[in-house]
Structure 1
Amino acid sequence: MYNNLETHCNAFPLPLHFQTIHTLQKKKPHPKVKSELHPRSRHRERYNFEELIKSSPDLAPFVAPNKYGDESINFFNPDAVKALNTALLKHHYRLEYWDIPQHYLCPPIPGRADYIHNIADLLKEHQSEIPTGQHIKGLDIGVGANCIYPIIGNHEYGWSFIGSDTDEKAISSAQSIVTKNPNLKSHIEIRRQEQANAFFKGVLNPDERVDFTICNPPFHASLEDAKKASLKKLKNLKGQPDVKPVLNFGGQQNELWTKGGEARFVKDMIYESKHFSKQCLWFTSLISKETTLKPTYKILQKVNATFVKTIEMGQGHKISRFIAWTFLTEQEQKDWVKERW
């Protein structure tokens, strides 16, 4: 049985490093609230740089008035983007420490938060209120050096997390973030995935259950594809024929591209999830390209997923979404909630 879940929100606006460029091209009145973002998002209002700098003074050198007199940062400067992310996490999510190694993915916080809030809405469908507390557990496949999803999910809903990754340096960074923030230590466990092509095997124990999984797949098929995509966006936004591609948010090979792109990645994840069908209520993954949806639905039908939902999230001029699937029957879902929640 295949269902579509109605969109909860139009998620997060144009990626931060492109948002400023778009504004510079044409001055528009600034709305007080970013209505595209999830209603529970902490990022619906414009950045209050004065407050952010109080939370993280290291942001101050990067803040300056733009040509319209609005305080902003240079979103083409990876150091400025990292400083902004650090300030946002310290200010809104009460972190004491956050850092990532050079050239690792520095994700836009509003979009990551919207994924978490929409997961909460997905879980809420099983009862009258959003389930909160550390007994609700998620698995972040590819937690990365930044550990963003567990940070937001734990702060907003008190959930506990397993964060897995194949990259040793990313694991070390994520573990350092957890260790240096007392509020995270007892709620987030970082585990190394030793098998490069596995998702759940070797991470989930045979008797272990999680209420949901989340994943931000590498959606490019190669480094060249990643550079071309970045170059195309920059040309369109800057209106210049020759610009150097910049991956402003960084990213290692396993974070940005994989053989076969996101379609192959998600296909492999779905096939493996079948073997863990009774250990998870909802498997989910971000889907960047709309063209990936049709073949993904066919695979989910082939493995006999009982329910499939697609949750759309707007990101400025681009629509993003994540797909959710379960192998549990309606009665098994009710039993799951009764036993665990």
Structure 2
Amino acid sequence: MKNTRTVKNKEKPAEKTNLHPRNLHRFQYDFKALIKACAELRPFVQMNQYGNESVDFGDPKAVKMINRAILSHFYKIKYWDIPAGYLCPPIPGRADYIHYIADLLSLKGKIPAGSDVRGIDIGVGANCVYPIIGHQSYGWSFVGTDVDAKALETASLIVQTNPELKDFIECRLQKSSSDIFKGIIGDTEKFDFTMCNPPFHASLAEANQGTQRKWKNLGRDKSKQGNTLNFGGQQAELWYPGGEQAFILKMIDQSKDFATQCRWFTSLVSKKTTLPSLYQNLKKVGALDVKTVEMSQGQKVSRMLAWTFLDETWQKKPD
């Protein structure tokens, strides 16, 4: 049985109240509007058993096409494409992370907007989704980093092909797999935030097991699907020795070397059991303020961990 996302026949679609209040994706997909924005989506839209329009979210091509349509309709992106096998992330959850960072940066309820607000997306990938949403929603500037040269080449093409993006998003190759900020942040550069969706799994075998579970949840024959994900993903996007805990611990350790050059460091944390070790390490490196914000999309619960080495006065001081 194919997995589909449905729109019930109501005058007003049901609202996804678990998403951030400013998230543009709180309502079910309007396929007519999406097809108008991206005609290439049309062949993937079909009527499901309830008589509603939907797409097969177990089909990687359909997933990529609906992302292209969403980015065109909601964010005015006219060119967006990624190579086969690269991560094609669900847009609503990505947007949530951006909006919670906006809340983190807000002063007296006012969210800072414009290109003077600078962020770093660690592991920007080929899709460049976080910088796209961040710039198109708030006008922020971004540096997207990655260890994968092909991914950065694709992300750069997306940026350069869309006039709205090309002056505000820069892609930088991280040449050292041991470093996160070193080699990326210049000696005199200042940033308002960093963000990261770290590799979740601890090994390739664990990633493959996760893939098989997802196919089972989608109601597919696992033996026929193999280890191909509907949302894709390369090694660096899916797994890291020690999993997300090891990756974020390294990020925390290295962030202290750039303590005065960034107001807030942030990362997504998928596993709640990861948090105690992260809190312990943040105390060890001398973080002055730590915040944890729960985020959810459907049945999936994640959280944004944020920390700073600057006291409240410096956090609010303009550059």
Q: If the length of structure 2 is used for normalisation, what is the TM-score? A: 0.94
Question: How many angstroms does 1:319 deviate by?
Answer: 1.2
Determine the C-alpha separation between the residues in 1 that align with 2:214 and 2:37.
32
For the 8 Å contact 1:234–1:243, the answer to whether it is kept is no
Aligned partner (choices 14, 20, 26) of residue 4 of structure 2: 20
Number of paired residues? 316
Aligned partner (choices 58, 61, 86) of residue 104 of structure 1: 86
What does residue 46 of structure 2 align with? Answer: 64
The amino acid across from 2:270 in the alignment is S
Question: How many angstroms does 1:234 deviate by?
Answer: 3.6
Question: How many angstroms does 1:158 deviate by?
Answer: 0.4
What does residue 141 of structure 1 align with? Answer: 122
CA change 1:298–1:77 in 2 (3 A) is same
1:261 maps onto 2:243 in alignment: yes
For the 8 Å contact 1:64–1:73, the answer to whether it is kept is yes
What does residue 40 of structure 1 align with? Answer: 22
Which blocks of at least 5 consecutive residues in structure 1 are unaligned? 1-17
Which structure has more relative contact order (CA 8 Å, sep 6+)? It is: 1
Question: How many angstroms does 1:270 deviate by?
Answer: 0.4
The amino acid across from 1:190 in the alignment is C
The amino acid across from 1:260 in the alignment is G
1:323 maps onto 2:305 in alignment: yes
Determine the C-alpha separation between the residues in 2 that align with 1:105 and 1:242.
22
Determine the C-alpha separation between the residues in 1 that align with 2:38 and 2:168.
24
Of all paired residues, the percent bearing the same amino acid is 54
Aligned partner (choices 284, 289, 292) of residue 310 of structure 1: 292
What does residue 77 of structure 2 align with? Answer: 95
The DSSP-based 3-state class of the residue aligned with 2:29 is coil
What does residue 199 of structure 1 align with? Answer: 180
The DSSP-based 3-state class of the residue aligned with 2:316 is helix
Which blocks of at least 5 consecutive residues in structure 2 are unaligned? none
What does residue 8 of structure 1 align with? Answer: none
The amino acid across from 2:140 in the alignment is W
What does residue 193 of structure 2 align with? Answer: 212
1:252 maps onto 2:234 in alignment: yes
Deviations 1:150-193 (A, max 9, x none): 00000000000011111010010000000000010111111111
Question: How many angstroms does 1:316 deviate by?
Answer: 1.4
The residue correspondences of 1:156-195 to structure 2 (distance < 5 A) are: 156-195=137-176
For the 8 Å contact 1:59–1:84, the answer to whether it is kept is yes
The DSSP-based 3-state class of the residue aligned with 1:107 is coil
For the 8 Å contact 2:289–2:309, the answer to whether it is kept is yes
The amino acid across from 2:175 in the alignment is E
Determine the C-alpha separation between the residues in 2 that align with 1:20 and 1:96.
26
The DSSP-based 3-state class of the residue aligned with 1:194 is coil
For the 8 Å contact 2:3–2:219, the answer to whether it is kept is no
CA change 1:179–1:68 in 2 (3 A) is same
Q: If the length of structure 1 is used for normalisation, what is the TM-score? A: 0.88
CA change 1:294–1:28 in 2 (3 A) is farther
Instruction: Note the aligned Cα RMSD (angstroms).
Output: 2.1
The DSSP-based 3-state class of the residue aligned with 2:4 is helix
1:121 maps onto 2:103 in alignment: yes
The DSSP-based 3-state class of the residue aligned with 2:249 is helix
